[in-house]
């Protein structure tokens, strides 16, 4: 994925979640200065950072690697009912 697309995706998601870079740093263990480089699109993320960013920002790492798309999501809710929906990332 292009760095500018990745940068925009994580920046927009972080802001949508109301998280500061310090919050994301705390959740991921990624230094704030490195997060700034990722969001500015000037540094390519490491694989381990993709995984931790994905978890912190609720974006599957595969989406962070390959770019935005619409993906099918299925799971079982707390009542045992199947959840099946499309989610845009």
In this prediction the pTM is 0.74
Lowest mean pLDDT among 19-23, 49-53, 78-82, 83-87: 83-87
Residues whose CB is less than 8 angstroms from the CB of residue 51 and which lie 6 or more positions away in sequence, other chains included: 61
Question: Is domain 3-88 classified as CATH 3.40.50.300?
Answer: no
What pLDDT is stored for residue 85 in this prediction?
A: 77
Alpha-carbon gap, residue 50 to 59, rounded angstroms: 9
pLDDT over 90 at 57, yes or no: yes
pLDDT over 90 at 13, yes or no: yes
The residue-averaged pLDDT of 6-29 equals 96
């Amino acid at each position: 994925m292009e760095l500018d697309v990745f940068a925009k995706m994580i920046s927009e998601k972080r802001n949508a979640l109301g998280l500061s870079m310090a919050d994301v740093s705390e959740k991921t263990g990624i230094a704030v200065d490195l997060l700034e480089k990722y969001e500015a699109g000037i540094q390519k993320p490491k694989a381990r950072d993709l995984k931790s960013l994905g978890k912190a920002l609720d974006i599957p790492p595969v989406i962070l690697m390959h770019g935005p798309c619409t993906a099918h999501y299925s799971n079982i809710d707390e009542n045992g009912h199947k959840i099946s929906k499309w989610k845009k990332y």
